[in-house]
């Protein structure tokens, strides 16, 4: 058995040294343990609603030689990484159409109301429907040509 040290490298560049280390039969076993440790760090931060500070776990031998690193992404399930890369897959096309249609209906009601407060409410509701859509449907991040609802815009129209 070889002693390996699992140091925590934070996003700001600081390294929290593992003073004790642990014995593992191989570097692969140490790496597997580091992945589990990273998953625990992610889970704890999520449960506490805290920012995750650890960018990677660096595996070193007893001489201090850095042998491997387990980055944060190595501990994240591949399905989740895929969804982060392609958020449009989270929202089916029929939902996209439904949310867009609801936003259009709200904007239509805003155009047809005489009460300025009602107009603001309808525009905010339309914006809420649009905010539920992934931003990947247009290159600018906003839905093509769809204005954001603001109090100033609605008051300026009266």
How many Å apart are CA 59 and CA 44, to the nearest integer?
21
Query: 88: which DSSP letter?
Result: G
Between 67 and 135, where is the model more confident? Answer: 67
pTM for this prediction? 0.53
Between 153 and 107, where is the model more confident? Answer: 107
What is residue 79's predicted lDDT score, i.e. its pLDDT?
74
Q: Is the CB of residue 6 less than 8 Å from the CB of residue 30? A: yes
Residue 145, both tokens: 């040509």
Q: Is the CB of residue 37 less than 8 Å from the CB of residue 56? A: no
Each residue's pLDDT tens digit, 57-112? 999 999 999 999 999 888 888 777 777 777 666 666 677 888 889 999 999 999 99
Between 148 and 3, where is the model more confident? Answer: 3
Query: Minimum mean pLDDT among 58-62, 129-133, 142-146: which range?
Result: 142-146
Q: Above 70 in pLDDT, residue 145? A: no
What is residue 143's predicted lDDT score, i.e. its pLDDT?
45
Between 73 and 55, where is the model more confident? Answer: 55
Q: Above 70 in pLDDT, residue 142? A: no
Average pLDDT, the chain: 82
What is residue 157's predicted lDDT score, i.e. its pLDDT?
46
Residues 8-33 have a mean pLDDT of 94
What is residue 59's predicted lDDT score, i.e. its pLDDT?
96
Run of H or E residues at 143: none
First CA to last CA distance, the chain: 78
What is residue 75's predicted lDDT score, i.e. its pLDDT?
85
Query: 24: which DSSP letter?
Result: E
- The DSSP line for 43-69 is HHHHHHT----EEEEEEE-TT--EEEE
What is residue 103's predicted lDDT score, i.e. its pLDDT?
93
């Amino acid at each position: 058995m070889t002693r390996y040290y699992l140091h925590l490298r934070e996003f700001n560049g600081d390294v929290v040294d593992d003073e004790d280390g642990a014995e593992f039969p191989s570097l692969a076993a140490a790496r597997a343990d580091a992945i589990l440790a990273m998953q625990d760090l992610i889970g704890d931060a999520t449960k506490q609603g805290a920012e995750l500070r650890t960018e990677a776990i660096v595996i070193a031998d007893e001489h201090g030689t850095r042998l491997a690193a387990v980055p944060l992404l190595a501990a994240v399930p591949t399905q989740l990484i895929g969804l982060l890369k392609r958020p449009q897959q989270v929202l089916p096309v029929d939902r996209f159409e439904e949310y867009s249609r609801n936003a259009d209906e709200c904007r239509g009601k805003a155009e047809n109301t005489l009460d300025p407060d009602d107009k603001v409410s309808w525009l905010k509701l339309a914006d809420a429907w649009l905010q539920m859509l992934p931003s990947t449907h247009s290159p600018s991040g906003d839905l093509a040509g769809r204005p954001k609802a603001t109090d100033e815009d609605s008051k300026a129209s009266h």
